[in-house]
Each structure stands twice: as structure tokens, then as C-alpha cells.
Amino acid sequence: MSISRRAALAAAVSVVFTIAAPAAFAQFGGIKVPGLSGGGSSGQSNVDVDGLLNQQTGLMKRFNGALNNMLAAEARTLRALGFKAEADKADAEARYYESGNVMDKSQIERSVAVSEENKKLIDQKAVEGGLLTAEGKKELAAAVPHYVRGMTEGAQLPPEFSKWANSLQSGVSSLSGNPTQAMKLKDGAAPGIYVAQNVPTLVSKWGQTTKNFTAFAKKNDVDVGNLDNVAAKF
């Protein structure tokens, strides 16, 4: 994930929270952004609020799938490295996302924090190297499909969330004369906005850990399949 792409996405999603309508949006604490206007003199347009929120649901389901797989991959890697307690914790977090329906910001924040801690342990041990037992190698092999699925889906998320955030920005701006619908859109889109702001950095970190895992697994003669190709994109 390039720095320019991450910066572009951050700019797009931040605008959603600073878009204002003149007086009608004062209650939202908005800041007027020059150059953005509504769809007519009334400041209203045919914004498909439910459609934008449905798009968010689809994107969040995909994010759930990527996070589920990455946490599962991290759990197996940690178990191979001897970090049983941390592996059990990662497994527990992964299970939350099996349904694909997690939208709660606090839950996602907690899981992302767990993934961050997992990354530190995995990266450190992978760089140190070392050979594993036969059982450890089996755990590494079991992690490979999860890394592949998690990173394949994860790689698509930043541009998809960016596209959605841009549509959301236009929608909120166009609802300047309809504060009720604007509030519905902004409140309903809060989970997606949080993920959109954080997913470029998260996926970039996943990519680095996947590279380190791949090198470590190969050193231990574990077949990584096409994970080499997936990791090479990051």
C-alpha cells in the first residue's frame, strides 16, 4: 500500500466529518468545505441513503472475513512459536468475525489491537529465525491458507472503502437541506468510516507480517503455496 494511496483515503474519509451545510448543519459541528454543494437551491438531491448504508454492510462483511482470517493465521503462527496464551486470545478474537456481521467499533478496535500485538511477536521471532519442531511446522502450514485468504481480501479493501467514502462524502454534502437524512447517513456510516480511516495502515502491517511469515515458513521447509505472490504485492 503506497503512502500516496493511504494519504488519499485518509483525506477522503476525514472530509465526511468536516462537511457542512450552512445553518442546517450547525448542530452537527460541521465545518463548511469550499467547493462542495448540494443538488440544487434547496441543498437536496436524490441521495440513496439506504443504498450507501447497504454498501457499507457489504464492505464490513468483507472486512470481517479478512480480519477473521488474519487473526486465525496469527493464532496458528503464535502457537507454532510457543505463545499459547496469545494464540488462544487471537483464536477467540477471530471467532467474533465468523458471522461476518460485526459492526461494533469498540469490538473492532479491540481486535485490531490484538492483531497489532500479534504482529510484534511474530515479526520479532520471524526475524530471529530458528527451526521449529514437526508440530510447530504443522501449525505454520495450517496458517498458510488463512494468510492467503486474509491478504487476498485485505488487499482489495482500501480502494473499495475509499470509493465508498467518496460516495458518502458526496451524499452528505448533497443532503445539506435535509438534516434528518444527513444525520441518518452520518450516524449509520460510522463503523465504515472508522474502518476506512484505519484499513490502509492495518493492511500494510498485515502485508509486512505476511512477508516475514513467508520467509520464516520457507526456512522451516513449509510449503507456502502462492503466498509468495500474495505477499509480494505489499
The whole-chain average pLDDT of the chain stands at 85
* C-alpha span between 136 and 145 (Å, rounded): 16
Q: Which of 8-22, 30-44, 63-77, 208-222 has the lowest mean pLDDT?
A: 30-44
Residues 140-194: pLDDT tens digits? Answer: 999 999 999 999 999 999 999 999 999 999 999 999 899 999 999 999 999 999 9
Those residues whose C-beta lies under 8 Å from the C-beta of residue 114, and which sit 6 or more positions away, are 71, 89, 90, 93
Polymer length of the chain: 234
Angle, to 10 degrees, between the axis of helix 190-219 and the axis of helix 3-16?
A: 160
> What's the pLDDT score for residue 8?
53
Task: Give the residue-averaged pLDDT of 23-51.
Answer: 47
Question: Of residues 192 and 39, which shows the higher confidence score?
Answer: 192
Amino acid at 209: T
Per cent of the chain over pLDDT 90 is: 76
Amino acid at position 33, single letter: V
Predicted confidence band at 218 (pLDDT cuts at 50, 70, 90)? very high
